Every structure is written in structure tokens, then in C-alpha cells.
Amino acid sequence: MNKNIRRALYEDALQQVLDNRVFRLLVILVLCLVAPTFLIGFHPDHISLLWFWDYNYQELTLGLGIPIPNDVRPDELLIKGMQTVVIDGLAGMIGIIFCIAATAFFVPRMLEKGAADTLFSKPVSRATLLFTRYCSGLLFVGVLSIALVGGMYLGFALVSGYTDTGFLWSALTLIYLYAILHAFSVLVATITRSSVAAILLVLMMFSFSGCIHRAWIFKEYSQETTAFKVLRAEMQEKGDIQEDDEDSTAIVILTNALNGLHYTLPKTGDATTITKMLREAVEGMGPALEDTEADVILEDNPTGMILMGSSTPDFSSPVTWVPEDQDADPRQKVFILRRDREQAPSESGETERRLVSSRVASTFLDELEERDERGELAEAPEKERRMFGGGRRGNQLIVVRWAEGSPDDALRRARFFFHFADWLYQVDLSMPREAMSDENYEEWESDFFYGLRLGKDQFLGPMQWYEGEFGWNSPWKYNAYFSIFTSLGFALLCLLFSVFRLNRYDF
């Protein structure tokens, strides 16, 4: 293929886009969506409208009866909300459907009698011509996606001073989602030569694959999560269900059919999750610490501290945080240990009881009281119980507090104990008394434990649970690479079969 032919094919693809009336309409809609990011400024303490009128967040929210918590940045919350609504809702659903409808006629028009005679008489293969029409659709959506995402990013950066580099991945995700659906549209259009059939069948496939994907997620959620396992065990114990139930064969058939459809159809529902993962990778978001084996997550690092090592440790050594400021007192530390609650048999051969936080805390308190009697502590130890966790259910832990060093340079110490599933956790906090006041220390400590989550699968919904399981290094059925490759493989098969069908036509 020489340079002139490639140039002619490119101009043909560009003309398909620019001559499209729906494309012009969508360009206007994109400008309408981008305009608010330039006309409205979201600042830390107020909203500015048209650069002249300023409105305080507290005044706006109190008027609606919705106070803003002190630990929430309203500007960031509103910007992220706008990004989610526009990209995931308007562009990711409605926009993609409009684009499919606007480009569905690209192939049927090429296969019309007069157009086909002219096109296929040129020294270009039918596969190349079909691929050119497919790329015309990608160009159609690519221009709109880049304009929308890039325009919003630029508007927020210039007017609100907010930059989120990971947001730029949203444009690629929209193109990825459209590329899958457009490949199926090309296949239907090649077989039926009808743009109406292409639009209807793509919409049906889009909806059907989404339903299958959600049903498969719920099936995995019910099989893998702790809450459902406990419920099933209780029902079996009561005799409500049996392993050899008469419906087991039908259930197995339905399960296998669901698995087959899920792995065969494109995973269009994963596009949004993949975008979030890419944003987390670029922006460094995500939990500060995650114990995948025990389902324990710490959402944020202690204020003013950084994690040493991996955020997904194996707990062979303590997980440690140190001050972010290199000039800070090095005695300020936080570390977490994890131990197996199952104890090895004693010398007499008797198996000891499982470790529980209350018994371990009492033993540790006895050791500290002996040290206090010898005059080794600045303050006597105290033990208390408290609740932690910001989820729907609280979690109980036991804390032992004491102080070391001299009265003039005392070092606050606190050791927290809690057990969960098969593990016993120990959290140690060390903070020089002169580093912060008692009130600030209590707030710092509470913020740390507020972000700690235990057994997330017991109170997360199916979609939230799936997002937690889905990842680049997850098992193959929850693996992002597997989802991308199988979805793109579906698109490639559609295009190959379209070429096969096109070559059988005799014009």
C-alpha cells in the first residue's frame, strides 16, 4: 500500500467523522459539559461563579441542612463528584450509546450497491476498507473523549487549581469501551447490511453482558464472602439445605452456563473499575496498608508519617511508620505486628487455648506493672476498652497506656490489641509528649483507628466487594489483564468474522 492510498484512506475516515451531524451535535454537548469547569471555581473554602460571585461552603450546606465535617475537603468532593457523573454516567453510558447510533451506518453505507462497486474496484483489499471504517468510529469517539476529559482537566486546573493526572485515563477507557461495542456493531452491520439492526443488537448485547457480569459477581460474592459462608453453614446445621439437594444438578448447570457466558462475553462493566485502578496507580491512591490474607485494611497513613516498606506486607517483620519530616523526633513511631492465634502444643502435649486480645493485654499489663514497681516508668500503666472502625459495625480493642523516660521528657506509649479471624494484631504507638498536646494526640490516634477496617466483605455490597478483589495481580478470574485480553479478544473475533463474511459477498 503506497503513501497516496494510505492518505486517501485517512481522509476518507476523517470525512466520515466530520460530515456526521451527530458528531457536530456531540461536540456542542461536550462544550456544554466542559464549560462549567471554566465558569465555576471550586476553592478550599468557597465557590466562585463567573469570577465575580463567591459563596461560602458552610452557608450553602447549612441552608440545605447538610453540615460539612471538618475532615472533608468540599472542593475536592464536588470536583470528583462532577467527574464521576460526567464520565461514568453521561459519557460512559448515554454518550457511548449515542456514538454507537451515530457510527452504525458506516459499514452499511459502504455495502450499498453503488458505493460497494466503486470502493471494491480500487486496489485496496476489502479487509483494509472494513478496518478503515472501524477506525473511523474510533476516531469519532477519540476526538470527543479527549476533548471532554482534556477540557475538564484543563478547566479544573486553571480555575479551581485542582489537578488529577489519573483522570486523564478516563479518555482511554471510553475509547476502550467503545472499541469493543463498535467491533460487534461492525459484525452485525456486515451480516445484515442494516444500521438499525446494528444499533438494536449492540444495545441488547451491551445490556445483556452487563446483566451477566453483575449476576456472575453476585454468584462469586455469595460463594466467597464470609457472611454467606456462615449463613450457609448455619442453614446446613439446621437442615434447611443439604449438599445433595435435588436442585444441585440444575444449580451446577446454571452456574456453568453463567461462567461460560461471563468468560465469553466482553466485560464492559470492568471499564470503570479499570479506570479507578489506573488513577490509583498514577496518583498513589488506595489503602495505606492491606492485609489481603485476613481482610484487614488501613485506609490512611498516620497523620505526618510515612510507611516503610510495602503496603501489602507478609508481616514477617513489624509494619512500621516513621515521621515524614526528617527533623522530627525519631522516637515517634507506629508499628503493627500480626500473630497466629493458634498456639503450639505445650511440653505436656496439651494444646493451649487460642490467643485472645483480653488475655494477651492482661499479661502485658502485669509485665508493665512490675516495671513500674521497679521505678522504670514515668507513668503507671492503664488498661481500657474502646471501639474503633468507621464502618457500619464497630470493632472492640483493648489498649494499654503508659509513659517512659523522665518526667521532663516523657514518651507516650500505647499498645492496642485486637483479634480477628485467625490472627491477633498488636498496634504500638510511640509519641514524645512535647510533640503535641493531649487533645491533639487523642485526635491523631482516633483518626488512625477510624480508617481501620476488619472483614470488609461482611458489610460491603457485591460491586464494592468485586472492586476490592479485582486487580492487576489478582487470581485470573478477578484479574484486570484477563478482563482486558478477553474483551479485546472478543472484539478481534468480531472483526475477523466480519472480514470473512465481507469476502463472501459478490457485488
Sequence ranges of the domains in the chain: 3-216+477-502, 296-343+352-454
State yes or no: pLDDT of 395 exceeds 80: no
Q: What is the pLDDT of residue 221?
A: 85
Q: What is the pLDDT of residue 69?
A: 55
Nearest to 424 by CA among 367, 340, 308, 313: 340
Lateral strand order in the sheet of 40-42? 40-42, 46-49, 53-56
**Residue 50: what residue type?**
L
The larger pLDDT score, comparing residue 382 to residue 449, is at 382
pLDDT band per the 50, 70, 90 thresholds, residue 44: confident
Rounded to the nearest 5 degrees, what angle is found at the Cα of 46, between the Cα atoms of 40 and 50? Answer: 30
Q: What is the pLDDT of residue 392?
A: 41
State yes or no: pLDDT of 393 exceeds 50: no
23/28 Cα distance (integer angstroms) = 9
Q: State the DSSP code for 479.
A: B
Q: What is the pLDDT of residue 120?
A: 55
Nearest to 202 by CA among 280, 107, 337, 88: 107
pLDDT band per the 50, 70, 90 thresholds, residue 18: confident
Q: How crowded is residue 108: how many other Cβ atoms within 10 Å of its Cβ?
A: 20
Q: What is the pLDDT of residue 1?
A: 59
Q: What is the pLDDT of residue 390?
A: 45
55/37 Cα distance (integer angstroms) = 16
192/214 Cα distance (integer angstroms) = 30
Rounded to the nearest 5 degrees, what angle is found at the Cα of 457, between the Cα atoms of 455 and 459? Answer: 90
**Residue 388: what residue type?**
F
- The number of C-alpha atoms within 13 Å of 50 and in the hemisphere containing its C-beta is 2
φ, ψ of residue 207 in degrees (nearest 5): -70, -45
Which ranges of 412-502 does DSSP label H, i.e. alpha helix?
Answer: 438-450, 462-469, 480-502
203/101 Cα distance (integer angstroms) = 9
Contact of 216 with 262, CB cutoff 8 Å = yes
Q: What is the pLDDT of residue 391?
A: 42
Q: State the average pLDDT over residues 308-326.
A: 87
**Residue 55: what residue type?**
Y
148/161 Cα distance (integer angstroms) = 18
Interstrand relation of 289-291 and 53-56 (parallel, antiparallel or unpaired): unpaired
Q: What is the pLDDT of residues 333-368, one digit of tens each?
A: 999 999 888 875 655 555 567 788 888 999 999 999
- The number of C-alpha atoms within 13 Å of 199 and in the hemisphere containing its C-beta is 15
Q: What is the pLDDT of residue 282?
A: 61
Q: State the average pLDDT over residues 173-190.
A: 93
Q: What is the pLDDT of residue 64?
A: 58
Grid coordinates belonging to 147: 476533548
Scan for cell 439445605, then name that residue: 241
Nearest to 184 by CA among 213, 212, 206: 206
DSSP for 216-235 reads: HHHHHHHHHSHHHHHHHHHH
10/110 Cα distance (integer angstroms) = 16
Topology given in CATH for the domain delimited by 296-343+352-454: Protein Transport Mog1p; Chain A (3.40.1000)
433/408 Cα distance (integer angstroms) = 9
pLDDT band per the 50, 70, 90 thresholds, residue 251: confident
State yes or no: pLDDT of 319 exceeds 80: yes
418/428 Cα distance (integer angstroms) = 12
Q: What is the pLDDT of residue 186?
A: 94
φ, ψ of residue 481 in degrees (nearest 5): -65, -40
